[in-house]
Chains A and B, each alone.
Chain A
Amino acid sequence: MGIKIADFEMKNPIIAASGTFGYADEYEDFCDVSQIGAIATKGITLEPRLGNEGDRIFETDCGMINRIGLENIGIERFIEEKIPILKKKNITYILNAAGSTLEDYAQLASIANKAGIEAIELNVSCPNVKSGCLEFGVDSNSLHELVLRVRKNYDGCLIVKLTPNVTSIESLALAVEKAGADAISAINTLKGLGIKIDYINGKFYKKEVQGGLSGKCIKPVALAMVKRIRSAVKLPIIGMGGISGLSDLFEFISAGADAFEVGTHNFTQCDACVSLALELEEFMRENKFSTFKDLKTAIKEIN
């Protein structure tokens, strides 16, 4: 079940998506985190951030909207406090890195390189910060330049996470490939707006949360985007968007994915990644697929 992207090895193709699994071991009371292929960390910036004021979560039909705003402890504390825990517990992780300038990303990359961090997922598409990373994610020239800069400073496995909030995801995927990244992960959240209006004792009350939409409701969009990326580039694709069960994995493979991230479903069932990895393993064993590659081939060959 193991897979390899560049030199980065994972024991299975299931990754916990950034922002849904903390930094390391927060869920270890509920599942054996070391059984998950990898954990993509909470988005990490050079300096610590407190995130957005006000309401941050809004539940929708079959999903949710978040506007956390990249609250995180900063790269320095992550390296000092969290990496030792991750190593001790044998947890494979991917650093999700975010910034607001080219320089931020370049610096994060060289710090990660020095710290021996084996994989980075560049967050160039967070919809919840006012300036910065989203701009890189929507313009193929800026994205190309950004990935080039990071590539120069970083020798490990470089994954770029793309936003679906663009006209041509193909051109962004091409820019990422040309700049020398090792993989693309997609999709980040969709821009959404949640409004709740109550009428109590003759008066209207409103709650409004604008942010990133995730969960089961975005799966069709994610599948479409993965398929479009696959049509444009040869890079491995880590597919995500509404994944909760084994059949979702098959659908993403069919669209062109080589690995998977599970996000919002971790909030519904916090042991979802472990369960899914076990389920996939069992399916492969029962149906005599000796490698994950064989399973992918079989699904891609469906007429």
Chain B
Amino acid sequence: MKKIKKGTVEKIEKIAQDTYALEISSDVKEAHAGQFISILCPPKTLRRPFSIKGFKDGKIQVFFRLKGEGTNYIKSLKVGDSVDFMGALGTGFNIENKKSLLVGAGIGIAPMLFLKDELNSKGIENFLITGFKAQNEVIQGSDKTVVGGSVIDYLDEIIKEFKPQVIYSCGPEIVLKLVNQKALEHNIDAFVAMEKVFACQVGVCRGCVIKVKKDGKVQNATICHDGPVFKSSEVVWE
């Protein structure tokens, strides 16, 4: 049984403007890029989901940006404090032995860095490009960092030079939608990690559904359980 976990804060540090890295030690045995954990943030009703940035020996790393009461609660935690969380949850990236282009936008870099680690450990060639709105928001770790502009503007050139066989991406929906367009133009499969507000974390509340095309039919899929990672060409983009 997975159960609700009690973890312990190992580290909490500022990595960019309003952005923090949190490391929790736990008894979690397995986690993969694209999966997430959901942290209870009392007195809030709903847990806050965070994409996993790194995982080793039960130590889970996530990035979070201060957005409101929930993330302010997490920021107030001290080393040694207990964290009530669920995870690792959701369906992550399916790693294939293919030259991989990783596209991150903003805090969407978190699962891309985890994916990069997983690809590197399997010896799969990869390139990570990430875009940030401003210099003080930059999170380190990419092969190319774009500040102030759009990562999309760089994709044609990178695809031409790097010749990826698959693209992975995480960021705001508008970026993912454009990544999908680029992937279609270049005839490359793309997989994207999506985000929406949800309540239950496990697919029952149906709060976070998107439309996907599967078996020739449009149907609902939940971001928290069926996703967060979807094949971009199967998503019905709004």
Q: Is the CB of B205 within 8 A of A51?
A: no
Inside 8 A of A59's CB, which chain B residues have their CB?
44-46, 197
User: Within the assembled complex, what's the spacing in Å between the Cα atoms of A269 and B47?
Assistant: 9
A58-B197, A270-B200 given as contacts; is B206 within 8 A of A264 (CB)? no
CB-based nearest B residue for A266: B200
Q: Which stretch in B1-9, B138-146, B187-195 binds the other chain?
A: B1-9
A-B contact list, 21 entries, CB within 8 Å: A26-B204, A28-B1, A29-B2, A30-B1, A30-B3, A31-B1, A50-B220, A56-B208, A56-B209, A59-B45, A59-B197, A60-B45, A62-B43, A62-B45, A63-B45, A64-B45, A64-B199, A267-B46, A267-B199, A270-B4, A270-B86
CB of B198 within 8 Å of the partner chain: yes
Choose from A26, A71, A264 the contact partner of B45 (Cβ within 8 Å). Answer: A264
Task: Tell me how far the C-beta of B238 lies from the nearest C-beta in chain A, rounded to whole angstroms.
Answer: 9
CB of B203 within 8 Å of the partner chain: yes
CB of B207 within 8 Å of the partner chain: yes
Q: Chain A interface mostly helix, strand, loop or mixed? A: loop
CB of A216 within 8 Å of the partner chain: yes
Q: Which stretch in A15-23, A87-95, A103-111, A145-153 binds the other chain?
A: A15-23
User: Within the assembled complex, what's the spacing in Å between the Cα atoms of A62 and B67?
Assistant: 18
Q: Is the CB of B4 within 8 A of A271?
A: yes
Inside 8 A of A68's CB, which chain B residues have their CB?
205-207
B198-221, CB under 8 A of A: which get 1 and which 0? 111111111111000000000110
Inside 8 A of A58's CB, which chain B residues have their CB?
197
Interface residues of A (CB under 8 A from B): 19-22, 26-32, 42, 50-51, 55-60, 62-64, 66, 68, 71, 215-216, 264, 266-271
Knowing that A20-B200, A215-B45, A270-B202 are A-B contacts, what are 12 other residue pairs whose CB atoms are under 8 Å apart, sorted by A's residue number? A20-B205, A29-B202, A50-B219, A51-B206, A51-B209, A57-B199, A60-B45, A66-B205, A71-B220, A264-B199, A267-B46, A268-B46
Inside 8 A of A215's CB, which chain B residues have their CB?
45
CB of B229 within 8 Å of the partner chain: no
CB of B74 within 8 Å of the partner chain: no
User: Within the assembled complex, what's the spacing in Å between the Cα atoms of A30 and B46?
Assistant: 17
Ordered nearest first, which 6 A-B pairs have the shortest CB separation? A22-B204, A57-B207, A267-B199, A29-B2, A71-B206, A56-B207
Inside 8 A of B112's CB, which chain A residues have their CB?
none
Inside 8 A of B206's CB, which chain A residues have their CB?
42, 51, 56, 68, 71
CB of B110 within 8 Å of the partner chain: no
User: Within the assembled complex, what's the spacing in Å between the Cα atoms of A22 and B201?
Assistant: 12
Inside 8 A of B2's CB, which chain A residues have their CB?
29-30
Q: Is the CB of A268 within 8 A of B1?
A: no
User: Within the assembled complex, what's the spacing in Å between the Cα atoms of A77 and B219?
Assistant: 15
Inside 8 A of A28's CB, which chain B residues have their CB?
1
